[in-house]
C-alpha cells in the first residue's frame, strides 16, 4: 500500500506520504518541495499495519488533504494541483466575508496573485488581493517553468569567458514555442480553472449560501476574460498533445479542447453559458447619477482598477453628454479626465484617452484634461510634434491670467517640446515668456520650479546644452531696494 497526499491552504503547503511494507509503516511528511521527515513504525501483523494505514489516510482526508499519484510527471499534475490550490484559497477568502445577499463576484488572477470581488451591488466591479500565504507564483502557475523543468531549459547560464550569467530565452520546436505562447496558454487555463473553481464553490455546503443570489460573474486572468482560446492556435493534434501533458481528467481535457478555437461548442458552450447572467439582470437596476458615478470611479482609479473605472463611468457619462438638459461643465470635465486616464493604452496610440481629454477641454478649457493631454503626448506617446501643436493652439484659446498655474504648465510643456525637438530659438523664446509672465504675476515659486525642471535634463540628452544656456539667465529677478 502506497499513498501520497497533499494539503494546501492560504498559509500552508505540505505533503504526507505512507508506504506499508508488510508489517512496517514508512511515513514521510513536510513542506511541499522539501524532503521532509521520515518515521517508521512496526506492527505485529501485516493486517494490522494495513488497517492502521487506511485509518491514517482517512484521518488526513478529513483534514482536507488530497490524494495524488506521486509517480505522475509533474507537468501532468499542474492543472489539477493548481485548481485544488485555487479552490482552497477562494473558499477561505469568501468565508471571511459576512453573510449577505451577494449579487456580484469576480475571480481574478493578475500575475501577481489571486483577487476576489464580492459585493451586494452587481455593478460594483470591486476586487482585492487575497493573502495567499506561501503561494509561489513562478513555481505553481508558470507554464514556462513547467516546460523548462521538463526539457531542462535553465533561466540563466554562466559564461566563463565573460565571467557572468546571462538569460536563456525559452524556445521549443513544438508549441508552445516561446514565452508568449506559454503565457497566453497559462492565462487561458487559469481562467478555465477559475471557472471550474466557481462552479465547485457553488456546490460547497459552506460557500453556497454566499453565492445563491449572484447575478454577475467575472472570471479574469491577466486582463483576459474567460472565453474561447484563439491565440496563435496550433493544429488539433498539437492541442491534444498539450492537453495530454497538462491535464489528467478526461472531462476537463474535453472541456479545454472544446474551448480551444474560434467558437466553443458542446461542453465549452455550456460551460461559458453558466457565467452569462448579467444581461437579463442588470437592466432593471436604477441608473446612478454622474456625481455618484464620479465618486465610484475616483475610488476605483485610486486602486488602479481602470477596467472597472470605464465600466462604471462611461455609460453614465455618455448618457449625460447625449442629453440636451443643462450640464455641469466642471463635473463633466473631471469625469472626462478620469476616463482619459483609465483608457491609456499605448498599443492603439492612446486614441481613447485623447478623445476623452479633448472632450473635457470643450467644457473646461483650463482644467485638468488639458494638462493630462500634454503629459500624455510627452510621456506616454512621446510625440513632441503633437505636444507642441496642441500647446501652441491651446495657449491662443485660453485667457492666460484666469489660471496662472494652468498657463504656466502649458508654457512649460511647450518649452520642453521645443527642447526635445532641438529648436533652440523657440525654446529660448518660450522660456523667456515664462520668466516674464511669472515675474509679472509675482510667482517666484513657479520660476524656481521651472529652473529645477530644466536642471533635471540629463547631460546625455541633446537638449541639455540648450537647457544649460537658458539656466544662465532663467532666474528670479532681483528686487531693487530704494
Which CATH number covers residue 24?
2.20.140.10
Structural domain includes residue 433? yes
End-to-end Cα spacing for the chain: 103
Structural domain includes residue 480? yes
Question: Mean pLDDT for the chain?
Answer: 85
Q: Does one domain contain both 53 and 190? A: no
Stretch 312-319: mean pLDDT: 91
What is the pTM for the complete model shown?
Answer: 0.50
Measure the CA–CA gap between 30 and 44, rounded to whole angstroms: 27
Q: Does one domain contain both 119 and 61? A: no
Q: Does one domain contain both 257 and 145? A: yes
Q: Does one domain contain both 55 and 149? A: no
Residue 275: pLDDT over 70: yes
Domain that holds residue 86: 74-157+166-282
**Residue-wise pLDDT tens digits, 135-151:** 444 556 788 888 887 77
Boundary (domain end) residue, out of 68, 84, 118: 68
Structural domain includes residue 342? no
Q: What is residue 10's predicted lDDT score, i.e. its pLDDT?
A: 60
Q: What is residue 77's predicted lDDT score, i.e. its pLDDT?
A: 65
Structural domain includes residue 360? no
Q: What is residue 280's predicted lDDT score, i.e. its pLDDT?
A: 42
Grade residue 157 by pLDDT with cuts at 50, 70 and 90.
confident
Boundary (domain end) residue, out of 47, 68, 89: 68
Q: What is the CA radius of gyration of the chain?
A: 30
Structural domain includes residue 26? yes
Q: What is residue 134's predicted lDDT score, i.e. its pLDDT?
A: 44
Q: What is residue 65's predicted lDDT score, i.e. its pLDDT?
A: 81
Structural domain includes residue 308? no
Q: Does one domain contain both 194 and 232? A: yes
**Residue-wise pLDDT tens digits, 415-429:** 999 999 999 999 999
Q: Does one domain contain both 23 and 102? A: no
Q: Does one domain contain both 49 and 99? A: no
Q: Does one domain contain both 54 and 92? A: no
Structural domain includes residue 411? yes
Phi, psi of 171 (to 5 degrees): -140, 135
Q: Does one domain contain both 414 and 465? A: yes
Q: Does one domain contain both 28 and 175? A: no
Stretch 300-307: mean pLDDT: 80
Q: Does one domain contain both 153 and 266? A: yes
Boundary (domain end) residue, out of 68, 83, 100: 68
Number of structural domains the chain divides into: 3
Q: What is residue 447's predicted lDDT score, i.e. its pLDDT?
A: 93
As to burial, measured by CB atoms within 10 angstroms (0-12 exposed, 13-18 middle, 19+ buried), residue 22 is exposed
Q: Does one domain contain both 180 and 53? A: no
Cα dihedral angle (316, 321, 326, 327), rounded to 10 degrees?
Answer: 70
Structural domain includes residue 396? yes
Cell of 173: 520546436
Residue 131: pLDDT over 70: no
**Residue-wise pLDDT tens digits, 343-392:** 887 566 788 999 999 999 999 999 999 999 999 999 888 899 999 999 99
**Residue-wise pLDDT tens digits, 426-438:** 999 999 999 999 9
Amino acid at each position: 500500500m502506497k499513498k501520497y497526499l497533499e494539503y494546501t491552504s492560504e498559509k500552508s503547503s505540505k505533503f504526507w506520504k505512507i508506504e506499508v511494507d508488510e508489517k512496517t509503516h514508512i511515513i514521510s511528511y513536510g513542506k511541499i518541495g522539501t524532503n521532509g521527515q521520515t518515521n517508521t513504525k512496526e506492527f505485529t501483523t501485516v493486517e494490522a499495519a494495513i488497517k492502521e494505514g487506511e485509518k491514517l489516510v482517512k484521518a488526513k482526508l478529513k483534514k482536507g488533504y488530497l490524494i495524488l499519484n506521486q509517480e505522475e510527471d509533474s507537468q501532468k499534475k499542474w492543472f489539477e494541483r493548481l485548481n485544488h490550490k485555487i479552490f482552497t484559497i477562494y473558499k477561505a477568502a469568501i468565508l471571511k466575508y459576512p453573510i449577505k445577499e451577494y449579487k456580484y463576484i469576480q475571480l481574478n488572477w493578475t500575475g501577481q496573485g489571486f483577487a476576489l470581488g464580492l459585493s451586494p451591488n452587481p455593478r460594483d466591479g470591486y476586487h482585492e488581493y487575497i493573502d495567499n500565504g506561501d503561494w509561489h507564483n513562478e513555481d505553481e502557475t508558470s507554464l514556462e517553468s513547467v516546460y523548462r523543468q521538463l526539457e531542462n531549459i535553465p533561466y540563466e547560464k554562466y559564461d566563463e569567458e565573460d565571467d557572468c550569467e546571462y538569460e536563456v530565452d525559452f524556445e521549443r520546436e513544438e508549441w508552445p514555442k516561446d514565452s508568449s505562447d506559454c503565457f497566453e496558454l497559462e492565462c487561458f487555463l487559469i481562467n478555465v480553472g477559475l471557472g471550474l473553481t466557481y462552479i465547485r464553490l457553488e456546490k460547497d455546503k459552506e460557500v453556497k449560501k454566499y453565492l445563491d443570489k449572484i447575478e454577475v460573474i467575472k472570471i479574469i486572468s491577466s486582463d483576459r476574460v474567460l472565453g474561447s482560446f484563439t491565440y496563435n492556435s496550433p493544429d488539433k493534434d498539437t492541442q491534444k498533445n498539450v492537453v495530454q501533458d497538462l491535464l489528467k481528467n478526461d472531462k476537463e481535457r474535453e472541456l479545454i479542447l472544446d474551448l480551444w478555437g474560434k467558437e466553443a461548442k458542446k461542453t465549452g458552450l455550456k460551460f461559458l453559458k453558466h457565467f452569462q447572467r448579467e444581461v437579463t439582470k442588470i437592466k432593471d437596476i436604477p441608473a446612478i447619477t454622474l456625481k455618484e458615478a464620479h465618486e465610484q470611479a475616483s475610488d476605483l482609479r485610486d486602486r488602479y482598477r481602470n477596467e472597472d473605472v470605464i465600466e462604471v463611468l462611461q455609460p453614465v457619462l455618455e448618457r449625460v453628454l447625449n442629453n440636451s438638459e443643462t450640464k455641469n461643465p466642471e463635473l463633466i470635465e473631471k469625469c472626462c479626465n478620469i476616463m482619459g486616464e483609465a483608457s491609456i493604452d499605448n498599443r492603439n496610440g492612446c486614441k481613447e484617452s485623447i478623445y476623452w481629454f479633448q472632450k473635457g477641454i470643450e467644457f473646461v478649457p483650463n482644467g485638468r484634461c488639458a494638462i493630462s493631454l500634454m503629459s500624455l503626448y510627452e510621456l506616454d506617446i512621446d510625440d513632441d510634434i503633437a505636444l507642441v501643436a496642441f500647446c501652441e493652439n491651446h495657449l491662443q484659446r485660453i485667457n492666460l491670467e484666469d489660471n496662472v498655474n494652468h498657463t504656466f504648465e502649458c508654457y512649460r510643456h511647450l518649452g520642453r517640446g521645443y527642447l526635445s525637438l532641438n529648436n533652440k530659438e523657440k525654446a529660448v523664446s518660450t522660456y523667456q515668456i515664462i520668466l516674464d509672465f511669472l515675474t509679472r504675476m509675482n510667482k517666484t515659486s513657479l520660476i524656481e520650479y521651472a529652473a529645477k525642471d530644466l536642471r533635471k535634463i540629463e547631460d546625455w540628452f541633446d537638449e541639455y546644452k540648450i537647457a544649460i544656456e537658458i539656466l544662465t539667465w532663467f532666474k528670479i529677478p532681483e528686487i531693487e531696494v530704494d
